[in-house]
Amino acid sequence: MSAPSSSSPVVRFAPSPTGRIHIGNVRTAVLNWLFARREGGTLILRFDDTDTERARAEFAEAITTDLTWLGLTWDRIARQSERTELYDRAAETLKRDGRLYPCYETPEEIERRRRLQRARGLPPIYDRASLKLTDAEREAMEREGRVPHWRFRLNNSGDDPAGQPESTPIAWDDLIRGHQTVDLGALSDPVMIRADGSYLYTFTSVVDDADMGVTHIIRGEDHVTNTGVQLQLFEALGADAPQFAHHSLLVGAEGQALSKRLGDLAIAALRDEGLEPQAVTSHAALVGTSDAIEPVMNPDDLAARFAFEKISRSPARFDQRELAQLNARLLQALDFESVQERLTDLGIAGGAPFWRAVRGNIGVLRDAQAWWTVVSQPLTPDIEDAAFCTRAAELLPDGPVTDETWGEWTRIIKAETGAKGKALFMPLRKALTAQTRGPELQPLLPFMGRERIVGRLSGETV
Ligand code: GLU
């Protein structure tokens, strides 16, 4: 195993390509990315794709697309499916050392034993029966045609065949959760190699982390129990264990699990909805931390805020409305240059003045199109008070409609009709936009032009 080549941190984001990524796993990705960025470290995108039944190259591709859209960057990509030789070598070492041992039980036999243990009030822990087989018994099993799977022999006190396993705590200082212990006495020796020769995640992950010199493992707290086992694997492989940081999992706004909604919380779905990637990364970086959730455009600014101490241990609440609001706030802060091309693609020709007029009133960028339609296409006005609207049309100042027009015009209407506040503005808004809410009318008027303004006030569909 090679040691880390320098003292700068090495982290990895290790998705299993069995589906698209969603807002929950993106949080893990973003935290790794920001930590690496902050520390000048290395981020490896590692596809944990040894599960040949479920892992798919298309999903790995799609995950890469999603992460790229989010603006994440990494130093290299690794695929576990291409690293089998490394795992074979590590497995040989552990077999030689007696830490991996062949087991011959069928799933039915295991299940039967578990039932018996439960009936006797014992925890359903694997009894290491296969470990106690003599060479002759093993040979007999193999002659019978049984192909073994391999378990990792945990270093715990469960060796006494008749005895109830004693508690065997293994501890580490988690960078987010603080001091942690996992009781290995309460665990079965975990299977590392299936009968078909394929490796399980726990094993390949540790072999890779050791080989890649990973210094920090930042992942969800659903892996806390794994960590107990993995610490022993690092030790068995003669490798230094990295530091661990287990973040809490995202839950819905009411505390419910998100698992049922992962489809609509997939990154691809959020992108299709029109959310800005920086809104998603800002949210992922700041949710469940002591910092306020706000839009941060620049990854370095986001990285500068990263600190393990800020990440809360309690479940992080994911509220879709909060993400929507964050997106709206982000749009308000975007200058015209950064959105120019996309506006042009939407057929919006209003330039910077139009963008500045509408950016505060849209949820997603493409909503700007609806406002462009309002100013540039015919609409049927909503006339509340025909007499008032006709009078307002007559009072529209002569000459070209400019940014100054609105102020001058409304002053005159007020002076001439006595209307003010909502009674003045609402009939105009409804006549000119056919809506009761929206951007300030002042910067929109020049885009409508005189004919349209006068026509709409007269009830015409123009
Ligand atoms: N492939 C694992 C997962 O997606 C990686 C866990 C880890 O980071 O070790 O849960």
Are 287 and 27 spatial neighbours (Cβ–Cβ below 8 Å)?
yes
pLDDT value at residue 162: 47
Q: Is 318 helix (H, G, I), strand (E, B) or coil?
A: strand
Q: Is 170 helix (H, G, I), strand (E, B) or coil?
A: strand
pLDDT value at residue 263: 76
Minimum CA distance residue for ligand 1 atom 10 = 15
Residue 78's beta-bridge partner residues?
A: 46
Are 175 and 313 spatial neighbours (Cβ–Cβ below 8 Å)?
no
Question: Rounded mean pLDDT of the chain?
Answer: 94
Which helix H or strand E contains 368, and what residues bound it?
helix 367-376
CB of 177 shorter than 6 A to ligand 1: no
pLDDT value at residue 102: 98
The length of the chain is 462
Report residue 165's pLDDT band, with 50, 70 and 90 as the boundaries: low
pLDDT value at residue 167: 86
Would you tell me how many other CB atoms lie within 10 Å of the CB of residue 439?
Answer: 20
Q: Is 400 exposed, middle or buried (0-12, 13-18, 19+ CB in 10 A)?
A: exposed
Which of 11, 16, 27, 204 for mutating ligand 1's site (highest number of atoms within 8 Å of CB)? 16
Q: Is 321 helix (H, G, I), strand (E, B) or coil?
A: helix
pLDDT value at residue 159: 57
Mean pLDDT of 103-127: 94
C-alpha of 454 from chain center = 50
Are 1 and 211 spatial neighbours (Cβ–Cβ below 8 Å)?
yes
Which helix H or strand E contains 182, and what residues bound it?
strand 178-183
Are 350 and 372 spatial neighbours (Cβ–Cβ below 8 Å)?
yes
Which of 219, 227, 243 for mutating ligand 1's site (highest number of atoms within 8 Å of CB)? 219
Rounded Cα distance between 278 and 280, Å, is: 5
One-letter amino acid of 25: N
For residue 160, is pLDDT > 60?
A: no
- Residues whose CB falls within 8 Å of the CB of residue 335, separated by 6 or more in sequence, listed in order: none
For residue 156, is pLDDT > 90?
A: no
- Percent pLDDT > 90 in the chain is 91
Sign, CA torsion 232/226/247/50: positive
pLDDT value at residue 166: 79
For residue 444, is pLDDT > 50?
A: yes
DSSP state of 263: T
**pTM exceeds 0.85 for this model:** yes
Please write the tens of the pLDDT for every residue from 335-368.
999 999 999 999 999 999 999 999 999 999 999 9
Tokens 């006549």 identify what position? 431
Report residue 2's pLDDT band, with 50, 70 and 90 as the boundaries: very low
Rounded Cα distance between 193 and 460, Å, is: 76
Rounded Cα distance between 184 and 339, Å, is: 54
For residue 35, is pLDDT > 90?
A: yes
From residue 358, alpha-carbon distances to 143, 363, 442 in Å are 77, 10, 11
- Percent pLDDT > 70 in the chain is 97
- Residues whose CB falls within 8 Å of the CB of residue 7, separated by 6 or more in sequence, listed in order: none
Please write the tens of the pLDDT for every residue from 234-266.
999 999 999 999 999 999 888 888 776 777 799
- Greater confidence (403 vs 259) lies with 403
Minimum CA distance residue for ligand 1 atom 6 = 14
Lowest mean pLDDT among 49-58, 220-229, 233-242, 444-453: 49-58
Q: How far is the CA of 192 from the centre of ligand 1 (A)?
A: 15
Mean pLDDT of 139-144: 95
Q: Is 149 helix (H, G, I), strand (E, B) or coil?
A: strand
Structure tokens at 19: 């589906």
pLDDT value at residue 164: 55
Mean pLDDT of 284-312: 97
Pairing of strands 76-79, 42-47: parallel
CB of 15 shorter than 6 A to ligand 1: yes
pLDDT value at residue 264: 78
Rounded Cα distance between 236 and 170, Å, is: 14
Mean pLDDT of 222-234: 97
Which of 25, 48, 54, 214 for mutating ligand 1's site (highest number of atoms within 8 Å of CB)? 48
**Using alpha carbons only, what angle is made at residue 70 by residues 81 and 35, rounded to the nearest 5 degrees?**
75
How much helix, strand and coil, in percent to the nearest 5, is found in the chain?
A: 50, 15, 40
Report residue 92's pLDDT band, with 50, 70 and 90 as the boundaries: very high
Mean pLDDT of 410-420: 97
Structure tokens at 366: 């493409």
Mean pLDDT of 148-169: 77
Report residue 315's pLDDT band, with 50, 70 and 90 as the boundaries: very high
Q: How far is the CA of 25 from the centre of ligand 1 (A)?
A: 9
Q: Is 262 helix (H, G, I), strand (E, B) or coil?
A: coil
Rounded Cα distance between 388 and 418, Å, is: 11
Mean pLDDT of 267-283: 97
pLDDT value at residue 4: 46
Backbone angles phi, psi at 104, to 5 degrees: -115, 0
Q: How far is the CA of 39 from the centre of ligand 1 (A)?
A: 22
For residue 96, is pLDDT > 60?
A: yes
Mean pLDDT of 135-143: 96
Report residue 308's pLDDT band, with 50, 70 and 90 as the boundaries: very high
Lowest mean pLDDT among 10-19, 157-166, 232-241, 355-364: 157-166
Rounded Cα distance between 163 and 157, Å, is: 9
Mean pLDDT of 28-35: 98
Residue-wise DSSP of 369-437: HHHHHHHHS------S-HHHHHHHHHHSPSS---TTHHHHHHHHHHHHH---THHHHHHHHHHHHSSS-
Q: How far is the CA of 16 from the centre of ligand 1 (A)?
A: 7
Q: How far is the CA of 31 from the centre of ligand 1 (A)?
A: 14
